[in-house]
Amino acid sequence: MNKIVIDILGGDNAPNAQLEGAILAAARNTDLHFILIGDESIIKPRVEEAGIIRRCEIIHTTENISCDEAPTVVRTKTNSSIALGMEALRKRDDAAAFVSSGSTGAVLAGAVMRVGRIPGVSRPALCPLLPTKKPGVKTMVVDVGANVDCRPEHLLHFAIMGSEFMRARGVENPRVALVNVGVEDKKGNELTAATFELLKQTDLNFVGNMECKDAFSGDYDVLICDGFVGNVLLKTAEGSMKMLMTMMREKMTSNFITKMGALLVKKKLKELKAELSDEEVGGSVFIGAKKPIVKAHGSSNAIAFSNAILVAARAVELDINTRIEAAIARNSLGNTGE
Amino acid sequence: MNKIVIDILGGDNAPNAQLEGAILAAARNTDLHFILIGDESIIKPRVEEAGIIRRCEIIHTTENISCDEAPTVVRTKTNSSIALGMEALRKRDDAAAFVSSGSTGAVLAGAVMRVGRIPGVSRPALCPLLPTKKPGVKTMVVDVGANVDCRPEHLLHFAIMGSEFMRARGVENPRVALVNVGVEDKKGNELTAATFELLKQTDLNFVGNMECKDAFSGDYDVLICDGFVGNVLLKTAEGSMKMLMTMMREKMTSNFITKMGALLVKKKLKELKAELSDEEVGGSVFIGAKKPIVKAHGSSNAIAFSNAILVAARAVELDINTRIEAAIARNSLGNTGE
């Protein structure tokens, strides 16, 4: 039976948000079974109370890797929740996926060192889903920081993995675009120019270059870029929208009339904030590792964390990794069109 | 006498916005003299009517370079407004700076080919000012697209140029940060790692790496990155804030109560939109060319264009290019600390 391995110690709101998230996910999908990694004395009574103890296995530890530590400590802190989780993925057939709100670096390092890659994948990638203008439409960015120096064949693999992932999410023929400084075919730097030529030769629905002002248009399903650029894209969106929200709040509370107005629109703006938050999406998937790994936001609350768990469960259920392996083989360099 | 060379043909709202912008700038700074490039039959009556004809020289042409044309046509379309403008900068001592809302690519290509660089500068860069959370504080990004493939010494020069520019704008000891995927010293890709080491050795106020979620904090005066990354930063901010504004408008007009609320806050939100627009900033400076060049937004209205003209005038007045040349010499590689 497939089990989702869950890090209960990582994250700003751990262990409560993580535990509540697991309990919530168990309620939302009654087929799920978990391996919970954390303090047994805290976990056990809570899952007992929630009535899901028969669906939970607990691996006890109290050692966490903080975000301030070098990611490579995952190698030496073998009793940390992340290291134990990766070890479970590596050794146990029933450990099907891993979810953590802990140190992104440690999760990535652990995945690469202990779990390994899907055969044929040159570099796994960290892939969040962006909100867009179109209700219900999300756009995946591959990569946002796992690989800050990339070659064209890495970006080719990102495109294939992202496309398969979105297909598994129900997008019929995912539109793949290359993040660039303009939409014309010849635009860009050395990396994008070479990547463009590779992407043209695949069986993907490659729609060409995209300028970042259109990243939130909902016209694309997968955006391809190196991890440095993707990180800039993701964090700039976060920073600029926060700035706008802050300035808006200041404007709306600047006098009596605007305060009245703010009261009337408050509920709707809260709705908007929720739609744009990470809560709904759950977390970034680390695609390309031998087993699905989902990195939930460090600040995840219980709802966000439960969504991250469900993303991992769905990746297992849809057998995304087998699909990716086949797509990579189909589109690998020197083997195009096969 | 110094004259600002102005392209009256380039831009979505040309020639009206450009002409009105020039007339407005002339009113705001009565010392300014212009060389206006465009259709004399349109320009002459307007500047006569505005009473500034004695401060204007007109170079007649009706040939424009559109944004759809390859930037290099600036070489062959010698009678285009951009080519004529660059030629004036190159040949005439009294032609002190150039302002255009036309094709960015053609302006950059023309500047590099016809005007040349400040001695010591390896690569000129396109540098807009970003809005920030702090009222009145703007942050300059160097570069946002003139150089999509960069070496560390290019970024070093970007830092020096940006710092001098902000100093000229009145910032006492400009805080220079390197755009990166994290704030720790060792973060980043090969380019940023090598650039970090170079920046440490300068006499600049280098404050280290910056993550893009803080790009709008107002805690930095100059952000350094290659033109590809800078373009992603700039366009992502534009795209994400537009998405947020659109979604907010939809939420605010979704029912009677929110519509009432929207009415009450409308004026303040308009204020906010103006604060965030390019209007106030005027345009991106192309720093590093032998004479100051300001690229106004293609969609500039008269106010935005007049601000772009005033930015160019100020760069001339403050003799920014001489300052940059001295700073480059002071901080050049192998000559550190001199």
Summarize pLDDT for B148-176 with one digit per residue, the tens. 999 999 999 999 999 999 998 889 999 99
Residue of B231, B250, B284 best to disrupt the A interface, most CBs of A under 10 A: B231
Q: What is the pLDDT of residue A27?
A: 96
Reading the block at residue A191, the tokens are: 């990396």
Count the Cβ atoms, other than its own, within 10 Å of residue A190. 11
Q: What is the pLDDT of residue B2?
A: 94
CB contact under 8 A, A258 and B265: yes
Give kind and range of the element (H or E) at residue A207: strand A205-211
Phi, psi of B253 (to 5 degrees): -110, 20
Helices (H) and strands (E) in chain B — how many of each? 11, 12
Please choose, from the candidates A255, A315, A258, A250, the residue with its C-alpha nearest in 3D space to the C-alpha of residue A282.
A315
Percent pLDDT > 70 in chain B is: 96
Measure in Å the smallest separation between the Cα of A262 and chain B Cα atoms. 6
> How confident is the prediction for chain B on average, in pLDDT?
92
pLDDT digits (tens, 9 = 90+) for A45-68: 999 999 999 999 999 999 999 988
Q: Which residues pair with B20 in a beta bridge?
A: none
For tokens 């609350």, name the residue: A301
**DSSP strands (E only) in A160-232:** 175-180, 205-211, 222-224
Report whether pLDDT(A72) > 50. Answer: yes
Q: What is the DSSP letter of B173?
A: S
**Average pLDDT, stretch B174-203?**
94
pLDDT digits (tens, 9 = 90+) for B279-310: 666 678 999 999 999 999 888 999 999 999 99
pLDDT digits (tens, 9 = 90+) for A282-335: 678 899 999 999 999 888 999 999 999 998 999 999 999 999 999 999 987 554
Higher pLDDT, B186 or B202: B202
* Contact of B43 with B59, CB cutoff 8 Å: no
Task: Quote the Cα angle for B262-B264-B269, to 5°.
Answer: 65
Q: Which residues pair with B59 in a beta bridge?
A: B37
Residue A190: closest C-alpha in chain B: B149
Q: Which residues pair with B4 in a beta bridge?
A: B34, B97
How far is B82 from B102, CA to CA, in rounded Å? 8
Measure in Å the smallest separation between the Cα of A162 and chain B Cα atoms. 20
CB contact under 8 A, A251 and B271: yes
Q: What is the pLDDT of residue A247?
A: 87
Q: Which residues pair with B95 in a beta bridge?
A: B3
Q: What is the pLDDT of residue B338?
A: 32
Provide the CA A59 distance to its chain's centre, in angstroms.
24
Higher pLDDT, A86 or A269: A86
CB contact under 8 A, B233 and A231: no
Of A236, A257, A262, the CB nearest to B237: A236
Please choose, from the candidates B105, B134, B196, the residue with its C-alpha nearest in 3D space to the C-alpha of residue B159.
B196
Residue B145: closest C-alpha in chain A: A181
pLDDT digits (tens, 9 = 90+) for A158-175: 999 999 999 988 899 999
Phi, psi of A164 (to 5 degrees): -65, -40
* Contact of A110 with A195, CB cutoff 8 Å: no
Q: What is the pLDDT of residue A103?
A: 92
How far is B20 from A337, CA to CA, in rounded Å? 57
CB contact under 8 A, B188 and A252: no
Residue A232: list chain B partners with CB under 8 A. Answer: 179, 181, 212, 225, 229, 232-233, 236
CB contact under 8 A, B233 and A237: no
pLDDT digits (tens, 9 = 90+) for B20-56: 999 999 999 999 999 999 999 999 999 999 999 999 9
Sheet with A129-131: strands ordered across: A129-131, A138-142, A222-224, A175-180, A205-211
Query: What's the complex ipTM?
Result: 0.89
Of A217, A228, A263, the CB nearest to B189: A228
Residue B267: closest C-alpha in chain A: A258
Q: What is the pLDDT of residue A333?
A: 59
Q: What is the pLDDT of residue B324?
A: 94
* Contact of B46 with B334, CB cutoff 8 Å: no
pLDDT digits (tens, 9 = 90+) for A233-243: 999 999 999 99
Measure in Å the smallest separation between the Cα of A243 and chain B Cα atoms. 6
Q: What is the pLDDT of residue A335?
A: 43
* Contact of B3 with B75, CB cutoff 8 Å: no
**Average pLDDT, stretch B314-330?**
93
pLDDT digits (tens, 9 = 90+) for A201-255: 999 999 999 999 999 999 999 999 999 999 999 999 999 999 998 888 888 888 8
pLDDT digits (tens, 9 = 90+) for B80-97: 999 999 999 999 999 999
Residue B239: list chain A partners with CB under 8 A. Answer: 212-217, 237
How far is A132 from A139, CA to CA, in rounded Å? 7
Tell the burial category of B204 from Cβ atoms under 10 Å away from its Cβ (0-12, 13-18, 19+).
buried
Whether a cis peptide bond, with omega within 30° of 0, leads into A15 is yes
CB contact under 8 A, A268 and B246: no
CB contact under 8 A, A242 and B213: yes
In DSSP notation, B145-156 reads SS-SS--HHHHH
Q: What are the C-alpha distances in Å from A297 to residues A209, A231, A312, B49?
A: 29, 14, 14, 61
Measure in Å the smallest separation between the Cα of A106 and chain B Cα atoms. 14
CB contact under 8 A, B236 and A236: yes
Three-state secondary structure call for residue B224: strand
Residue A246: closest C-alpha in chain B: B133
Count the Cβ atoms, other than its own, within 10 Å of residue B92. 12
Q: What is the pLDDT of residue A174?
A: 97
Of B215, B229, B246, the CB nearest to A229: B229
Task: Considering only the C-alpha atoms of chain A, give the largest distance between any 2 of them, rounded to a whole number of Å.
Answer: 68
pLDDT digits (tens, 9 = 90+) for B61-81: 999 999 888 889 999 999 999
Instruction: Give the number of A-B residue pairs with CB atoms closer than 8 Å.
Output: 176
